[in-house]
């Protein structure tokens, strides 16, 4: 299942932090407004590279449980949204690492 979101960047501190808030969601267009999620990426220099920490916060506290649970079941094929997002976070970080490593190879 895929969907479209409307987001607002809430932090953009080069080399330190990037964050955005998702505030509307929909199948083709983001028609359902309201707090959805907050994503944050923190960057920390470590020996030989950069540690990237990705955080997802479920902001749907104002959603009725039946609506959030129904959306979760459809969108995640039976997983909880937390389980689903942990997989997405892993995938994002792996792809980010691959792109950065490829860019470093090209620059060398």
Dump pLDDT digits (tens) for 44-71: 999 988 999 999 898 988 888 888 788 7
**Rounded to 5 degrees, what angle do the CA atoms 93, 57, 29 make?**
85
Dump pLDDT digits (tens) for 83-100: 888 888 889 889 988 998
Q: Which residue would you say has higher pLDDT here, 87 or 43?
A: 43
Q: φ, ψ for residue 17 (rounded to 5)?
A: -160, 140
The pLDDT value given to residue 33 = 84
Dump pLDDT digits (tens) for 72-85: 887 788 777 778 88
The pLDDT value given to residue 16 = 96
């Amino acid at each position: 299942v895929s969907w479209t979101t409307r987001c607002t960047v809430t932090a953009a501190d080069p080399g330190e932090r990037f964050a955005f808030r998702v505030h509307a969601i929909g199948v083709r267009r983001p028609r359902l407004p309201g707090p959805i999620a907050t994503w944050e990426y923190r960057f920390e220099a470590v020996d030989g590279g950069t540690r990237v920490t990705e955080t997802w916060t479920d902001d749907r506290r104002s959603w009725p449980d039946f609506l959030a649970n129904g959306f979760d079941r459809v969108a995640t094929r039976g997983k909880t949204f937390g389980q689903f997002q942990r997989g997405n976070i892993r995938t994002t970080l792996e792809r980010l690492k691959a792109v950065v490593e490829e860019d470093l190879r090209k620059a060398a």
